[in-house]
């Protein structure tokens, strides 16, 4: 049988807020460590806003990396036309194609999947 403890609501709310603050601090520390280890990157607000506004993630990350469609096509061994069709929404792209593009851009596959 488990023991039960009764505490005032005010104390419960304080403990809960403290636990949430601790979780936020741990997440912050993990993010800073990932940045320092090169496992994550900061993305300028301009590019984040483009993603939030629904622009093609492939186009945004390609622009962020300073690549043309032709240069990305060569790096990923994918047709430039395929890249153009994915960026304009005419095609979704196969998992294999998106994986090759993600690898060439240095992002996770999930970053390109919409």
Contact 57, 64 (CB under 8 A): no
Q: Is the domain of 26 the same as that of 80?
A: no
* Residue at token pair 């601090």: 25
Q: Quick one: tokens of 100?
A: 């090759």
Q: How far apart are CA 61 and CA 83, in angstroms?
A: 12
Per run of 10 residues, the mean pLDDT along the chain (length 114 residues) is 90 97 96 91 94 96 97 97 96 95 96 85
Question: For residue 51, how many C-alpha atoms fall within 13 Å in the half-sphere facing its CB?
Answer: 17
Q: What is the pTM of this model?
A: 0.75
Q: Quick one: tokens of 38?
A: 């090169």
Q: Is the domain of 89 the same as that of 51?
A: yes
List, as own/partner pairs, every contact residues 91-95 make where C-beta atoms lie below 8 angstroms and the sequence separation is at least 24, other chains included: 93/58
Q: Is the domain of 73 the same as that of 49?
A: yes
């Amino acid at each position: 049988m488990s023991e039960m403890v009764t505490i005032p609501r005010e104390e419960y709310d304080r403990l809960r807020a403290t636990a949430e603050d601790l979780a936020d601090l741990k997440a912050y520390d993990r993010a800073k460590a990932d940045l320092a280890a090169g496992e994550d990157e900061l993305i300028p607000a301009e590019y984040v806003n483009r993603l939030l506004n629904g622009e093609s993630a492939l186009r945004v990350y390609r622009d962020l990396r300073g690549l043309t469609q032709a240069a990305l096509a060569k790096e990923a061994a994918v047709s430039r036309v395929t890249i153009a069709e994915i960026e304009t929404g005419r095609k979704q792209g196969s998992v294999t194609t998106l994986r090759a593009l993600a690898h060439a851009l240095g992002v996770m596959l999930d970053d390109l999947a919409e």
